Amino acid sequence: MPKINTQELVCIVCPVGCKLTIEKAGDEYIVKGNICERGVDYAVEELTHPTRMLTSTVKLCALHHVRLPVHSSAPIPKDLIFKAMKVINSCTVKAPVTTGQALIKNILDTGVDICSSRTIE
Ligand code: SF4
pLDDT tens per residue, range 69-78: 999 999 999 9
45-78 exposure pattern, b = at least 16 Cβ within 10 A, e = fewer: ebeeeebeebebebebeeeeeeebebebbeebee
Q: Residues near 50 by Cβ (< 8 Å), separated by ≥ 6?
A: 77, 78, 79
The domain ranges of the chain are: 4-48, 55-116
The residue ranges of DSSP E strands in the chain, in sequence order, are 4-10, 19-25, 28-32, 51-52, 55-61, 67-72, 76-77, 92-94, 102-104, 114-116
pLDDT on residue 1: 53
Q: How far is the CA of 39 from the centre of ligand 1 (A)?
A: 5
Domain 55-116: give its CATH architecture: Roll (3.10)
Kindly report, residue by residue over 25-42, the tens digit of the pLDDT. Answer: 888 999 999 999 999 999
Task: Kindly state if the Cβ of 10 falls inside 6 Å of ligand 1.
Answer: no
Atom 3 (ligand 1): residue with closest C-alpha? Answer: 35
pLDDT one-digit tens code per residue, 42-53: 999 999 999 999
Mean predicted lDDT score pLDDT of the chain? 94
Does this model's pTM top 0.85? My answer is: no
State which ligand 1 atom lies nearest to the alpha carbon of 34: 1
